[in-house]
Structure 1
């Protein structure tokens, strides 16, 4: 994919979304069924099934939090390159979700959009929809 915009920016990690999570949910449902048939012996299966689901989500959460930190650093660098002042003052007025959404804006509209996001308290969705010249992020997990 060489072009990205609001309608096409959502990404799926096929191994996680279409293999690991469905299998984890299937295993969990299967273990609940077994447990309902014989509760005394199958409680451990339920715990293992639940553990598979939790591990799938926790690994995803860790990856997203790490990417959010990297995006925040990228935005600090971009802002400094454009303004020659630290991003700290503006950054403290935005939440991480707004900063992540702002990364899609081109340099030409970024500064204006940062100010609008602060003044109007724009949601990440509103920020993304306001972007006229979309900068794709093809590396997000």
Structure 2
């Protein structure tokens, strides 16, 4: 992978995103196809499709819920630590004024830009996406889930 930036900072888990989910999606499409083309066993294919849909839904939602919840907590902790290191103060008051998108975006900025973008986020209320687009020297985060 080359240098990380705004265009390539998202990360995928290949077994989940490119094998498991497409396989479930394919089974769901096949089940729906069979509902309309196998009238003798239509109820079986309806049940099959409902079960596959529920498995697909649960696979997406549970993975997202746990991974994102944990990642969000870690991003907030990283922000608190970094703020303390840079300003030698607790970040509680500052953190309350920022939304999670802003906090998450700030982690991609190096310290000098972090300070500048933090002030913009606090005073101009720029969004997380605007913060990411404003970063000139992208600080890679290759350890995300």
Q: Scaled by the length of structure 1, what TM-score is found?
A: 0.90
Q: Does 1:122 align with 2:121?
A: no
Structure of greater Rg: 2
Q: Does 1:48 align with 2:32?
A: no
Equivalent residue pairs, number: 141
* Greater alpha carbon shift after TM alignment, 4-13 vs 37-46: 37-46
Q: Does 1:71 align with 2:75?
A: yes
CA RMSD of aligned residues (A): 1.6
Instruction: Map 1:1-141 to 2 at 5 A.
Output: 1=1, 3-36=3-36, 37-38=38-39, 39-58=42-61, 59-141=63-145
Q: For residue 2 of structure 1, report the CA deviation from its aligned partner.
A: 5.9
* Greater alpha carbon shift after TM alignment, 65-74 vs 114-123: 114-123
Identify unmatched segments of 5+ residues in structure 2. Answer: none
Q: Scaled by the length of structure 2, what TM-score is found?
A: 0.87
* Greater alpha carbon shift after TM alignment, 1-10 vs 101-110: 1-10
Q: For residue 69 of structure 1, report the CA deviation from its aligned partner.
A: 0.9
